[in-house]
Structure 1
Amino acid sequence: MVSIIWRDRLIGNLTLDQLRVLVTVSDAGSFSAAGRSLGRVQSAISQAVKTLEETQGIDLFDRTSQKPTLTAVGRVLVDQARAVLASADRFEAIAAGTRMGLEPALTLAIDPLVPTAPLIDSLRALRDTFSDLPVSFSTEGVGGAERRLRDHSASLAFCLLLPSVPDDLMAYPLMDLNLMPVAAADHPLVRLGRKLHRADLEAHVQLVLSDAHGNDGPSYGVIGSRIWRFVDLGRRLDFLLAGFGWCKMPPFVIEPYLKGGRLVKLDISDEGISPTGTLPVYAVHVRNRPLGRAGSWLLEDLRKRLIK
């Protein structure tokens, strides 16, 4: 029955069945062993290989010895046949999943300040549960994850939404994020050795995460006009460690540098100048574009892991 299913499917002048026979002969070691594996007589296996050779105008097997062996081109094409068969299997799996309510693909976007560590276990479990689901994952500049939701290039985002959740989005709280004001140990702000006031901070460069598309948008926690803008968290960390400015960073990024003495927490006199309260991290999708089966599963699994 399996051989009949594959036999009717054509790729140009190839059939998937011919490719399956070729791979099975290579794996089994002989035409007769391939016939037993596929439940066919040896003559049918030989004819399938012969037809494939004739349509392609090449010899896949060297028949000068008692046991046919793959030619050089045959060895290369066996690998190609495996890839084609794997793609065909994946094609069918995605189609079957869609019939059962599974989205054809899941695209995820994450803002730079959001830690990826909590996502790892859930993404691994998602992969194990929906092994044939294509999943893409991208990190974005500030506001980028939200923008990707609206232009339909992401179906689920993990991000901060400031100052509030927009009406067109559905947001599910996942965790709270703390940001800590820090500077390099040899930075002038650290050398002051006292509580810092607005004028102290305004006199020095602030390293700010920005929108990758150059959109200014609202500025939260930005003090003064001496600003260097960065799209990714890692690059900003490099310049922070090099002493070019100060900024607020999530503890999960800077903890090793605080312990090692390369970074120092800044003591700011007025909480209103640079608030250090927690910020909510959300899982978000567009309200009129509900999550599919896999997206809903991922969201539920992640919330179970994070919300105790």
Structure 2
Amino acid sequence: MDIGQPTLDQLRLFLTVADEGSFNGAARKLGRAISVVSYGITALEAQLGVNLFAREGSRKPVLTEAGKAMLAQARTVADDVDALLAGMRSFNQGLEAELGLAVDVMFPTNLVASVLREFQQEFPTVHLRLFVEALGAIDALVIEGAAELGIGGPELAARPELERIAIGQIAMIPVAAPGHPLARMGTIPPGEVRKHRQLVLTDRSHLTQGQDFSVFSPNTWRLGDLGARHALMREGIGWGNMPALAVEADIAAGRLVRLAVPEAPGMEYNFHALWRRDCPAGPARSWMLNALTERLAQCPDAKTARQPD
């Protein structure tokens, strides 16, 4: 049997009656006459060829088996339309439909996670794409248009197509496992680190391919993942620089030791926000930049640059 196509208004009438448990309640909630609600449900049932409510006599309407089967699907349709309308209203008000965010692996993960959770609540209609990369890969993602906002590390090379502002910095310290030869030395003489394998974060982009940053040993293992490098250090396989916040628990528990490396006993890792000059800022991008900058300012041991305008 062919059935008619219900309107969105009819589906909303059906859902409101089911939620309120009566035609009177639905009429009050929707601000309509009860006769309009009753007629709308009757017309919907006629189109579908089923009874959605059992309502003999003065009994309150009770969902039939057909009504129960339709309820979840009708709610999904109404929710999808609501999301569509919300997205169009936001778009008309200048809100981005989507936002690509590229974050340097050195940026504290817990800060990123908390900001992303708040972002989803603040901008539920904005589709967020997240990339976590290192060094020049952040610049590359922004230049190529995959990300509208990048949170990168130190400026490795001038990029005329990018705008860049400093947003803060974290401490980086050299560490190794307690059993590593460097950790067992009371005093590390100059040049000693060159004799030991250094675990280095590699750049997976073409922009700074082949360049070395804070590398002191000719014996290196290059890894693109900060977590993998962290795990290898705890196994005593090599030494390297890590964000102080990322290894403070390991140092306190004795799983890692801070090294007094004469060449670089510690350093500051500077973060920059970057975006394409031809890509104007929307509300979501501006909110994300401000939130990450403010959260970094609240981070222990971090230093913050000026707040962005």
TM category, shorter: 0.7 to 0.9
Describe the shift of the 1:105–1:33 C-alpha distance in structure 2 as closer, same or farther (beyond 3 A).
same
State the SS of the aligned residue for 1:140.
strand
Describe the shift of the 1:195–1:82 C-alpha distance in structure 2 as closer, same or farther (beyond 3 A).
same
The CA deviation string for residues 163-213 of structure 1, in whole angstroms up to 9 with x for no partner, is 244221111111022211101111222123331544x43443322223456
C-alpha displacement of 1:300: 4.1
Match of 1:291 among 257, 281, 287: 281
Match of 2:161 among 163, 168, 190: 168
TM superposition outliers: structure 1 runs of 4+ over 6 Å? none
- CA separation in 2, counterparts of 1:70 and 1:230? 60
* 1:99 counterpart residue number: 92
Question: Which amino acid in 2 is paired with 1:238?
Answer: A
Match of 1:36 among 28, 42, 47: 28
Report 1:142-291 matches (<5 A).
Answer: 142=134, 143-198=136-191, 200-212=192-204, 216-271=209-264, 276-291=266-281
* 2:301 counterpart residue number: none
> Size of the alignment, in residue pairs?
292
- CA separation in 2, counterparts of 1:133 and 1:35? 30
C-alpha displacement of 1:103: 1.9
State the SS of the aligned residue for 1:113.
coil
Describe the shift of the 1:194–1:56 C-alpha distance in structure 2 as closer, same or farther (beyond 3 A).
farther
C-alpha displacement of 1:40: 2.8
- CA separation in 2, counterparts of 1:64 and 1:302? 60
Question: Which amino acid in 1 is paired with 2:133?
Answer: G
> In percent, how many aligned pairs have the same letter?
33
In structure 1, the gaps of 5 or more residues are 1-11
Higher mean Cα deviation, 142-151 or 165-174? 142-151
Describe the shift of the 1:154–1:41 C-alpha distance in structure 2 as closer, same or farther (beyond 3 A).
same
Describe the shift of the 1:185–1:59 C-alpha distance in structure 2 as closer, same or farther (beyond 3 A).
farther
Describe the shift of the 1:54–1:101 C-alpha distance in structure 2 as closer, same or farther (beyond 3 A).
same
* TM-score, reference length from structure 1: 0.80
* TM-score, reference length from structure 2: 0.80
Q: Contact 1:168–1:287 (CA<8 Å) still a contact in 2?
A: yes
C-alpha displacement of 1:110: 0.7
Describe the shift of the 1:16–1:169 C-alpha distance in structure 2 as closer, same or farther (beyond 3 A).
same
Higher mean Cα deviation, 202-211 or 48-57? 48-57
Describe the shift of the 1:14–1:108 C-alpha distance in structure 2 as closer, same or farther (beyond 3 A).
farther
C-alpha displacement of 1:46: 3.5
